[in-house]
Chain A
């Protein structure tokens, strides 16, 4: 019966269904399928965009394995994530917790924390560059004003990546605040009331009711900020260009430089694919860890 109808309508409508889905198909072909196939082809070639491609076999992979700077960039990125993810979760959860209370001008604050998310990353980075300025930056002036030592926010190789992690956290926190707010508001009030009658303090209510209840949100935020953190690019690109001493060279920035700094297209694509595998591996490990905890 169904078969019969499908057949008939196909005959009757001819190409129309294909026409209707064609914009999506064209998009898929042009921007997804083609780049994927092309980049896989590229990994076996040397290409500088201008001269023709040259087949090099597995040379790109061999080079990757020996490329100490690439591994440093990966380590830098992981170091960034190590600071960024916990900071992101704690900051977002704390803000969401307070924005969920009956506080003064709540709608204003809720909107205010979301602002940096929608502001262009370039603008945010330039703004923070000013804040982090060694001599004239607001942060150092405050520190000096308080009688403390100034901090080499961006020029000390140990601190620079942490500074970038703080900035990235500030930029994205609004998004995760919203996710946490949704999670917090889904907890029925009567849970808290029951706990209050039983004598639980605010901290105990948070620890034994709120945290378990928003566990799924926390995991979502971990995974989202991992994926987002791996693509760290604009901040070091504008602020430090990967310096000092390559301490803020992120994997994405290094891949970009290989492609558009040195025009090593084949090599950069190889790095990109390899990096994508690392991201997938990390997220899968996180997911397995989460499922095990459950």
Chain B
């Protein structure tokens, strides 16, 4: 059992407020990902769970017990650091054994546990090597091994894959996911990589400037972002944002972009925004070269093609709509030529509308 709960938690470093009034509940055995740009406070949140960072205000609960003042060793957690923090003068075996030794386990019990963890992570051949003699990926495994060997109820990961190359990162991602199934423990995982967040998380907390923007499942974050920040952060290439106004006509409300080249029927919920500036968002994958489905409605507009990226299975067209940059994800055979004009069809029911001032989603 391990439920972690932040209640109005704030963290100040001198005059800097790194975490502002955070409420977050991490469920038992959940894989929770904390994602956000660099410096947003992800590590600080994680380190507060570990007890490595004091809490300035608010309460942190683990399994219903306030742990604000509980030392790290009594929290039954393990943390995997970004730089692995393996003890350089110890072999992999001793690195794994250290915590058990400190806690007074018998030699035979230590050996059994270390070998079991080594087997799970397939690092047996590394056990008598020191960190210096290992590759980045191997160190990563040993660092994870050091975490699982004590069988804690919570695992904390701080950007564990950021020092690995892309291929290894993909592979380790799968392994961490399967490890979570095996371990049946609560995992809090920090990353700035939204692909990692989307693929690993049961739920994701998107953080910006020390505040939680939205907590939800990966699919819901993608489909129903609560604000412009989340909409722009989740998805790659990011959602396109187009400035415009809501107008009223005989047929109902419609959105007109600021250049007057794009018209789209707008939901009735935007009534209050009539004649006001708003921002429309649409993802690259919801722009097409022709209407995709008969039952759906599309808003078409002409744009100048600036650049085309061909990735084989798909291609990205980077176009401009009167100065506004827009990316479209297209089938390879639909890719236009650069420096031409093309017509794009935006799926109307896929559009998001945001308040221009607050950035909050309004429809």
Contacts and interface: CB of A to CB of B under 8 A. Distances in A.
Given A191-B87, A209-B87, A213-B89, A196 B73 contact: yes
Contacts of B102: 195, 198-200, 204
Nearest to B80: A194
A34 B78 CA distance: 66
A190 interface: yes
Contact of A212 (B51, B52, B73, B89): B89
Given A188-B83, A190-B83, A208-B98, A197 B89 contact: no
A198 B102 CA distance: 7
A208 B89 CA distance: 9
Given A204-B102, A208-B98, A196 B52 contact: yes
Contacts of A195: 87, 98, 102
B85 A199 contact: no
Interface in A184-215: 188, 190-191, 193-200, 204, 208-209, 212-213, 215
Given A199-B99, A204-B102, A194 B79 contact: yes
A199 B81 contact: no
B2 interface: no
Contacts of A194: 79, 81, 85, 87, 146
B237 interface: no
B85 A188 contact: yes
Given A190-B81, A204-B102, A198 B87 contact: no
Given A191-B87, A212-B89, A197 B77 contact: yes
Contacts of A197: 50-52, 72-73, 77-79
A212 B78 CA distance: 23
A194 B103 CA distance: 14
Given A199-B99, A208-B98, A193 B73 contact: no
B73 A199 contact: yes
Contacts of B141: none
B242 to A, nearest CB: 44
B26 to A, nearest CB: 18
Contacts of B50: 193, 197
Interface in B57-79: 71-73, 77-79
B52 A208 contact: no
Interface residues of A, number: 17
Interface in A163-189: 188
A193 B52 contact: yes
B150 interface: yes
Contacts of B87: 191, 194-195, 208-209, 212
Contacts of A204: 102
Interface residues of B, number: 21
A116 to B, nearest CB: 33
A115 to B, nearest CB: 31
A212 B95 CA distance: 14
A9 B87 CA distance: 54
Contact of A199 (B79, B83, B103): B103
B89 A196 contact: no
Interface in A100-121: none
Contacts of A190: 81, 83, 85
B159 to A, nearest CB: 12
Nearest to A200: B102
B212 to A, nearest CB: 24
Contacts of B81: 190, 193-194
Contacts of B51: 197
Contacts of B73: 196-200
B150 A198 contact: yes
Contacts of A199: 73, 99, 102-103
A197 B78 CA distance: 7
A71 to B, nearest CB: 41
B85 A193 contact: yes
Contacts of B89: 212-213, 215
Contacts of A208: 87, 98
A213 B73 CA distance: 23
Contacts of B83: 188, 190
Interface of B: 50-52, 71-73, 77-79, 81, 83, 85, 87-89, 98-99, 102-103, 146, 150
8 contacts: A194-B79, A197-B50, A197-B52, A197-B78, A197-B79, A198-B73, A198-B102, A209-B87
Interface of A: 188, 190-191, 193-200, 204, 208-209, 212-213, 215
The 8 closest A-B pairs by CB, nearest first: A198-B99, A199-B73, A190-B85, A212-B89, A194-B85, A197-B72, A190-B81, A199-B102
